[in-house]
Structure 1
Amino acid sequence: MRFTPFSLPSVSQADQAGQPASPSRSRVLWLSCVAHALHDGYTDMIYVLLPVWQADFGLSYGALAMLRGIYAGTMASLQLPAGRLANRLGSRATLALGTLLAASGYAVAGMSGSLLGLCVALAISGSGSSTQHPIASGAVSRTYGRNARGPLSIYNFSGDLGKSALPAAISLLVTLMPWRHALWMVSVLGCVVAAAIALFLPSIPRSKPVTEEPSTPRSSTAGRGFSLLFMIGVLDTGVRVGLLTFLPFLLKAKGVSPPMVGTALALVFIGGAAGKFACGWLGARMGVTGTVLVTEGGTAALIIAVMFCPLALAMVLLPLLGMMLNGTSTVLYGTVPELAPLENTERAFALFYTGTIASGAISPVLYGFLGDRIGIHGATFATALTALAIFPLAVALRSHLMPER
């Protein structure tokens, strides 16, 4: 029977009765957060390693782009197979094996002596990381049921912590030791996390079908609602990565020095982390549609403001811009279980993450070609228009959501 939004199970009868979260629920959340932080950190660690590999192997910029593309491509393309594997092996085993595989990929990279070896290593690591998003987010969703929006925002926020911590750690390690030894150290960290998942992550029960009347509006429109949510996620990701592609150039045009560009981006990322953390609860109180309209409208307004206002004011606005850019994603992820038209949450999350990751890879290229034709300001203005294009989709989505409290 098809999966419906009302079939998300709780871990225990006490949870179903509305009691405080059990230790099992807390373990699911925090181990999922640790997995998210590790895998997102592994993903962004590559940016630090690319200059090191260029110097050591004499790689061209095209080869460096290929390395990043291999990792992102394998991670995006294997999201759905990872969800199917979880149906066979269980969430705990699949997530532990995926984490071990991601760690092993970096260990192989530390032993590689050629571009081909790096390509194979990053394909291995990206394959392992493909398990994390659908399975960990699905585990949190199943465990907390209809109260999952807040925990999912914590889970989403943990990824930003990993993106900050692991690249910073590898930057320090490569100054203290050969880069191969540094990769082996972070690989050992991944093996430890994989062991912790295998030993301590509670078993997540599978969904039990819930019978509903075929004429129920939600049953008949869940697929359309999920499609709308998917489109919003793809466009939202496109806005975010498109703007971040052009933002350093916009700031340089305002007279920002290269070191200050890094500081400016840090302000955006700090605001983005805060936005992910806060907007999960904002969505629970304000409603999904209202929150999306506020964040996307705020994004469009702040993009235009940063384009045209003086440098000092632009720097002040950057953290708020980061909050608007990243805030929508938490609300969208928290809504996936409500609209999943498929037989389980893992597959729904896999579909959603496949779309957003692919959008993150393709959008900079499209906006880049646009920038070549109409200039950087015109292309940046196009990202603001894309944010506004989400408005009618968000309004259409309202009728497919559960009544918002």
Structure 2
Amino acid sequence: MFDTESPQLPVTTKQRPRTTGDLWNPSAANPTTVPVPLPVVVVRVDGPFTALDRKLWLALVHIAFPDLDKPGKIHEILISEIIDLFRRVGGRRDLGAKGTLQLTKKLSENTEAATLWQSIRRLAKTTIEWEDDDYMGINSLLGARMDKDARNSGKLYFTFDPLLAQHVLAPRAWARLNVHVVMKLRSKYAVTLYEILEAYANRENKTCTATIDELRAWLKVPDDAYQSWKDFRRNVVDIAVEEINTYADLAGFSVEYEGIREGKAFTKIKFTVAKTDGRQERETMLGRKAVIHKRRARAIAGLADPDNPPMPSGDALDAFRRKWPGNDPYEVIGLFQDKWRGAGCTVIRSPDGAFLKFAEGMFKARAKKGRVAA
């Protein structure tokens, strides 16, 4: 149910995903990514949604992401900055040209950056249907000011529907899309296929199997186009896969595929994703940083890392052997560390002193128990 105090859907993830990287400065070491929930990637989309529109939408999500949880927030960006971004990253030089902008069926105007404004208009007219285990929704992908004053200001004023924004902010499973990879891809089919397959790169099972009809629907291949497997493979799948593999180092994965027959006809297609060495190295490094960050956070909170228990020094072990000869110090260390975890992993300033004090108490308790038994 909806909260009557807020138009937002309840957040169900423990920690909301975030964007990474700098949109304006591509970097292989720090990729520019947007976490997009799977229902947004693989869902029914109705409208004139082109490859350019997909790229622009993803860039605008990255720009607005820090404020997506603020209902009604109007974001703004200079049109010149968007044009420069597409020129530097994607190589497109036509977005800033003057041309005709079709505002309605009967109304058109000559304007600067006509191609870019047409893309913005198409995004506003494109609807997306999404659903998961708990919710179903339908939204426009974008809201934007299209009046002449706004265009003459040189800025784009845009919004995201609060429901769609909340769904982007609190997905249960998402694909982390590299904005610069999407901008570099030329084929509209490559853009969509990349978005779909990125979701499989971090899975244990890195294969995606779909029927040909499902894949055609995902890629929005016209019903009357490439109806034979041979034409579909040559004009859609091969081109998309080749483009993705061209940018494998930047995307972080490569892809192979095979057609699956049922009888004499190909009815399914199986894609297999493999991470690049560079991506695996980055993820290993990020994992180490996450561990360090967790340890620092626990230390600030007065808690130690349960996976890094206190360990007495060699001097403490020598003292143990002199005081309690014939006893195994490492057995006592294990008991000492178990007690430390059971007590909540508090920070111990002097592991040597704490260990020897624990050992003394343990042996006194054993001696007392032995006297009572006798």
Name the structure with the higher helix share.
1
TM-score by length of 2: 0.22
